[in-house]
Amino acid sequence: MKCRDLKELLSAYADGELSRTQREFVEEHLAGCVDCRATLDSYRMVNQKITSLNETAAFPDLKYAIMSTIKTENNKKQFQKWLRPVLATIAILAFIAVVLTVPVESPETSSSVGAPPPLTWEKLNLVISLSLLAAFLIMLGRLLVNKIFKMFIAGIVPVLLGLIGIGIGIRESLIGHPEVLIVMGIISAYGVILGAIYIIRRNVNRWLSITGLLLCLLVLVLEAIMFVGYPIPQLWLTMVTVVTPVSLVTYAFHRELNQSPRLWLRYGLVIVVLMAIIAGLLADQYRGMEIPEIISAPMSPPPLGYVIITDIGWAALLAGTLIMIGLAFRNRFALALADVYSMLLGIIGWYFGLYALTTLKSDMFLGMGILPIFGLIMGIVAIKKRADRRWSALTGVVLCISALVLDIIFLFSYPAKHIWIITLTILIPIGVGAYALRHEIGLSWWNWRRNILLWRIALPVTMVLTALGTLWGTGVIPGLISTEEVSTRNITFIQGTSSLASWATNYEDMEELCNLADLIVVGTVDRIIEVVPTEWGHGMIYDARSAFRVETVLKGKADREIVLTHMALASPDGWIEGMVEDPPPQAGEKWVFFLSITESGEYNNFGPWGRYKITDDKVYSMNRVLGSNNSYYEEKLDFNGVNLSTFIGIVKETLDSIILTLTDNFGLPDRALRFDAGGSQTVNIKLSTGKYGPDNLIYTFKRVEGKDTAIEMPMPAELNVTIEPVQFTVYPRNEYRSILKIQTTADLPSGTYWIYVEYHLGELTSGHRTLMVNIN
């Protein structure tokens, strides 16, 4: 060993910090090395010099200064103690208010023009997902605080959120869907919080955060203005748009920044007033503009039932609220509650899991994901903070971990791996977990190995469960969720005698089909995923869900794989009564599907008329596929071995043209009304512009002799027809809805009246549909 390498040992020798063998080694070397003896002396000199710094004059007594500061802060905490439960209570009240007052949407209200529809579950879902995502971002930001690079990102996020908020706001204010204001509200509130945090915490690059903060505030002001203009003021709307963002911001200022809400008010109000003036000027521009409601084709929603996701979203929010309350009242009672709660959530997670297994309703696995993670956090916090009765919390932790393992297995067996599923089940739970563990009990990833008690028990249990789960999931242990098992549950169909089912609506032509479909796709059925039985009346409904690989999208937006739902009825003995015209698609078959997307986010086909089988690149309508009587088929929809490319050409050409359809509130064709004299009814007029526009569109109507004629007849005075809106500007590739209302007086003679509805686009283009009105 060279003397140079010995320096550390010599230094430690001088400090008396060597083991006996090391010491002997150094001494042996020193005996024969003059240089090292000199080095050692110099070290001893340094030691002696620095050690002399030990002597100092007396220091001032800081006891009183320190203790008085602590006591002042304690008093401030008293206020905080009071504030937290109040905020928690507000959050709970908001939650309850929302649950109680969210109207279950009826199609009636959603289609009336003018008044925007009430908040739908669908939109609510979007809001929940976005706010969870935003919360996740904030947590991420907090976890990664102090790193300049990451702070830069955190500076950009508020700007982005503000811009998104403004974008949504402007678009929605033009279209007239103010319920999306809620999204603006929550996104912007998070933006304000993030912006403020980084402005106050950082010394550099404040301009970025300030820009973001201002943008977000602007959105909030815009939102407030629109909110006032909303025609149906409702409690839940106030709660969600006003109370929630305001409490969020107040809470964040208080907890995150230890700033009094007054500070935020002082500066915030000035900015808000300025912004309000600008926004007021902007809002004036739009006032008085009459805009017809645009029903754009809905974006491709995820394949899972929205309602179930919403339930889970609520459950997660509730869990989060409970945890907040627990932490707000951080005391023995809360801790005792924590491990019970953790066990409870573990059990609920298992319940979801078992339910999903027995019914094959795999939507439920999301519930398994979010609830146990909250349970896990509660359990670990309880274990760390207490000395006694750890076993119950530990049981909870183990239960929760195992539920999570099950969840992950399910996740991988599910056909459509959407980013939002991954976000909900993996990213958010991990984010929430990491945040809670780090900031609530100071447990960091790198010193987890020190938490012996927790990991000595929980880790092996988890590993065993993971191993078992993997074996099950990969089919080594048969039976649990192997795909073979699922596919043997294919439905056995009884060939019934039914011909055309009365429940299904007939479509007149390709135009109607194209106009009413939300999604038109060509693709192959990959496999049947599951058959979900639901009790219905005296029998059962079986929702056969199959994974459909999309190859071409002709209309709408779709992921590469979508889950089709095909409904079939069953008799009480369990057999499925076949709809001979409309059997569920089987694995490996290639189809063109005209699909509607339901409120609950499911893809349904249009019945036998909305599906065309492709064999060897030739297209066949269902009557040809099944060889049944084709007289029930509309000639225009009867295809027998047309080339696929020709068929696609027909569909595309139809989509390019301007299409008028008359529909009921379920989006199904409606060409005949029947009611008593004196009554009134409405029909929706749906117009797709195809490649036409922008141009002025006018609707006209007249009474005619019969279905296929334009010969005009006098309109009786007792029959009053109105179309609202009747004239507006249209743009290409949009859909517009008007309401045709027929009002009669009791004097109207019974009989059939034909109403000829015509549109005129510009000078040249026009078209019509005829409505039959039967008066009893």
Residues in contact with another protein by CB under 8 A are 7-8, 10-12, 15, 17, 42-43, 45-47, 49-63, 65-67, 69-71, 73-74, 203-204, 384-385, 441-442, 450
Output 13 or 754, the one with its CB closest to another protein: 13
Output 42 or 534, the one with its CB closest to another protein: 42
Calculated CA dihedral for residues 700, 703, 709, 710, nearest 10 degrees = -40
Token pair belonging to 239: 């709660």
Cβ 395 to another protein, closest distance in Å? 22
Distance separating alpha carbons of residues 726 and 698, to the nearest angstrom: 6
Cβ 46 to another protein, closest distance in Å? 5
Cβ 61 to another protein, closest distance in Å? 7
Output 323 or 592, the one with its CB closest to another protein: 323
Determine the distance from the C-alpha atom of residue 151 to the mean position of all C-alpha atoms in its chain, rounded to a whole number: 27
Distance separating alpha carbons of residues 324 and 208, to the nearest angstrom: 31
Token pair belonging to 729: 């500007």
Q: Is the dihedral of CA 268, 271, 277, 280 positive or negative?
A: negative
Cβ 397 to another protein, closest distance in Å? 18
Output 16 or 572, the one with its CB closest to another protein: 16
Three-state SS letters, 477-507: CCCCCCHHHHHCCCCCEECCCCCCCCCCCCC
Backbone angles phi, psi at 658, to 5 degrees: -85, 130
Output 8 or 616, the one with its CB closest to another protein: 8
Output 262 or 450, the one with its CB closest to another protein: 450
Cβ 67 to another protein, closest distance in Å? 6
Distance separating alpha carbons of residues 457 and 16, to the nearest angstrom: 41
Token pair belonging to 187: 């996104």
Output 84 or 686, the one with its CB closest to another protein: 84
Determine the distance from the C-alpha atom of residue 338 to the mean position of all C-alpha atoms in its chain, rounded to a whole number: 28
Residues in contact with 705: Cβ distance below 8 Å, sequence separation at least 6, in sequence order = 711, 713, 754
Cβ 31 to another protein, closest distance in Å? 21
Cβ 54 to another protein, closest distance in Å? 5
CA nearest 140: which of 131, 153, 129? 153
Residues in contact with 661: Cβ distance below 8 Å, sequence separation at least 6, in sequence order = 511, 512, 515, 516, 669, 685, 686, 687, 769
Say if strands 561-570 and 640-643 run parallel, antiparallel, or are unpaired.
unpaired
Token pair belonging to 356: 């999903």
Cβ 447 to another protein, closest distance in Å? 9
Specify the DSSP class assigned to residue 52: G
Backbone angles phi, psi at 735, to 5 degrees: -120, 140
Cβ 11 to another protein, closest distance in Å? 4
Cβ 336 to another protein, closest distance in Å? 17
Output 339 or 543, the one with its CB closest to another protein: 339
Cβ 47 to another protein, closest distance in Å? 6
Cβ 212 to another protein, closest distance in Å? 20
Distance separating alpha carbons of residues 675 and 681, to the nearest angstrom: 8
Omega cis (within 30) before 725: yes
Three-state DSSP at 104 gives coil
- Other beta carbons within 10 angstroms of residue 44's beta carbon come to 15
Cβ 74 to another protein, closest distance in Å? 6
Output 49 or 262, the one with its CB closest to another protein: 49
Distance separating alpha carbons of residues 618 and 627, to the nearest angstrom: 16
Cβ 411 to another protein, closest distance in Å? 35
Output 67 or 93, the one with its CB closest to another protein: 67
Side chain identity, residue 311: D
Output 28 or 41, the one with its CB closest to another protein: 41
Three-state DSSP at 525 gives strand
Say if strands 735-744 and 751-761 run parallel, antiparallel, or are unpaired.
unpaired
Three-state DSSP at 572 gives coil
Output 202 or 545, the one with its CB closest to another protein: 202
Cβ 49 to another protein, closest distance in Å? 5
Q: Quick one: angle between helices 306-328 and 365-385, nearest 10?
A: 10
Are the beta carbons of 620 and 612 closer than 8 angstroms? yes
- Other beta carbons within 10 angstroms of residue 642's beta carbon come to 18
Output 64 or 233, the one with its CB closest to another protein: 64
CA nearest 240: which of 128, 141, 320? 128
Three-state DSSP at 697 gives strand
| H or E, element range at 345 | helix 332-359
Token pair belonging to 245: 């963002």
Output 66 or 476, the one with its CB closest to another protein: 66
Cβ-in-10-Å burial (0-12, 13-18, 19+) of 8 comes to: exposed
Cβ 333 to another protein, closest distance in Å? 15
- Other beta carbons within 10 angstroms of residue 632's beta carbon come to 13
Output 59 or 445, the one with its CB closest to another protein: 59
Cβ 149 to another protein, closest distance in Å? 14
Cβ 373 to another protein, closest distance in Å? 22
Question: Where are the extended beta strands (E) located within 637-734?
Answer: 640-643, 659-663, 672-675, 680-688, 695-704, 712-713, 719-724, 727-730
Determine the distance from the C-alpha atom of residue 714 to the mean position of all C-alpha atoms in its chain, rounded to a whole number: 53
Place of tokens 């294919």: 490
Say if strands 519-536 and 659-663 run parallel, antiparallel, or are unpaired.
unpaired
